[in-house]
């Protein structure tokens, strides 16, 4: 069996060489890099190739041009590339549903952070958010109301990466709400009938009571419509 051949351009190779140079020299954000001419001599390639490779690395946020300092290493914004492609219109339904599943995992998982960091001021803000919310049907809020409450929970958790990722996925949540709302309504009615429907007020009460385990149980139930949707989708024949 023939081995798979990976085709790369000269620019790809020089881009990889520059990254390897950063690693080998243990450069950190803020450290200067050789200029284009020095890389041309180092790698024995044309200036245009080096220029294109460095341009790509600038776009990725790995390099940055500074006045009087030249090119420096920069800590890349980890979610930038993800942000450029996270458009629901470009994603398949299975991928959208996997992102919805990730939301369930994150919201249950950040409980420890929430209960460690929450303050009385946070609780007051959550109360204000809830007081302004108006239900549209059974446990159904406007997208703005729904996002405002959960965004505040992520802010309380105090992990900027998770918060930024949540905000990044908002278009996916909006897409899901617009396209699958008719599916969630019967689930919410079923949960209401069995007295298992959990609202934002219920979640806040668990926070006030300082009961992390109860909060995790309630957030699972609050997101139960998404879970049932995912489960039914993944197991349908």
- Burial (Cβ within 10 Å: 0-12, 13-18, ≥19) of residue 117: middle
237 vs 103: CA distance, rounded Å? 25
The pLDDT value recorded for residue 39 is 95
Half-sphere exposure of 95 (CA within 13 A, CB side): 10
- Please report the sign of the dihedral spanned by the C-alpha atoms of residue 115, residue 148, residue 159, residue 228: positive
Residues 63-73 have a mean pLDDT of 88
54 vs 68: CA distance, rounded Å? 18
Nearest alpha-carbon partner for 169 in 91, 87, 113: 87
Nearest alpha-carbon partner for 80 in 194, 182, 165, 203: 165
85 vs 95: CA distance, rounded Å? 12
Q: Does domain 10-73 have CATH number 1.10.10.10?
A: yes
Residue 209 predicted with pLDDT over 70: yes
Q: What percent of the chain has pLDDT over 90?
A: 46
44 vs 132, more confident: 44
Q: How confident is the model at residue 100 (pLDDT cuts 50, 70, 90)?
A: confident
The pLDDT value recorded for residue 136 is 54
Query: Reduced to 3 states, what is the DSSP secondary structure of residue 64?
Result: strand
The pLDDT value recorded for residue 171 is 75
Contact 191, 197 (CB under 8 A): yes
Residue 138 predicted with pLDDT over 60: no
> In CATH, what is the architecture of 80-235?
Up-down Bundle (1.20)
The pLDDT value recorded for residue 164 is 84
Query: What are the structural domain ranges in the chain?
Result: 10-73, 80-235
User: pTM of whole model > 0.85?
Assistant: no
Most confident segment among 76-80, 170-174, 206-210, 228-232:
206-210
128 vs 192, more confident: 128
Q: How confident is the model at residue 1 (pLDDT cuts 50, 70, 90)?
A: very low
Residues constituting the chain: 237
Same fold, 10-73 and 80-235: no
Residue 5 predicted with pLDDT over 50: no
Question: In the chain, which ranges are continuous DSSP H helix?
Answer: 10-24, 36-43, 47-59, 80-85, 93-109, 111-117, 120-131, 143-157, 160-168, 170-193, 200-208, 212-222, 224-235
The values of phi and psi at residue 24, to 5°, are -60, -35
pLDDT digits (tens, 9 = 90+) for 38-59: 999 999 999 999 999 999 999 8
45 vs 168, more confident: 45
């Amino acid at each position: 069996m023939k081995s798979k051949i990976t085709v790369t351009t000269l620019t790809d190779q020089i881009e990889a060489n520059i990254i390897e140079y950063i690693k080998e020299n243990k450069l950190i954000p803020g450290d200067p890099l050789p200029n284009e001419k020095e890389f041309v001599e180092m790698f024995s390639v044309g200036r245009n190739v080096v220029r294109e490779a460095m341009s790509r690395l600038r776009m990725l946020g790995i390099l940055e041009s500074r006045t009087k300092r030249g090119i420096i290493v920069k800590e890349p914004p980890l979610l930038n590339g993800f942000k450029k492609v996270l458009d629901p219109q470009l994603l398949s339904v299975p991928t959208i549903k996997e992102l919805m599943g990730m939301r369930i995992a994150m919201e249950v998982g950040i409980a420890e952070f929430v209960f460690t960091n929450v303050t009385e001021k946070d609780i007051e803000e959550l109360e204000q958010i809830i007081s302004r919310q108006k239900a549209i049907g059974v446990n159904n809020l406007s997208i703005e109301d729904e996002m405002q409450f959960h965004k505040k929970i992520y802010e309380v958790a105090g992990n900027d990466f998770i918060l930024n990722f949540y905000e990044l996925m908002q278009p996916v949540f909006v897409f899901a709400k617009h396209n699958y709302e008719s599916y969630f309504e019967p689930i919410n009615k079923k949960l209401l009938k069995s007295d298992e429907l959990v609202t934002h007020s219920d979640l806040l009460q668990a926070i006030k009571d300082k009961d992390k385990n109860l909060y995790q149980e309630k957030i699972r139930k609050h997101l139960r419509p998404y879970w049932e949707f995912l489960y039914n989708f993944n197991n349908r024949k």
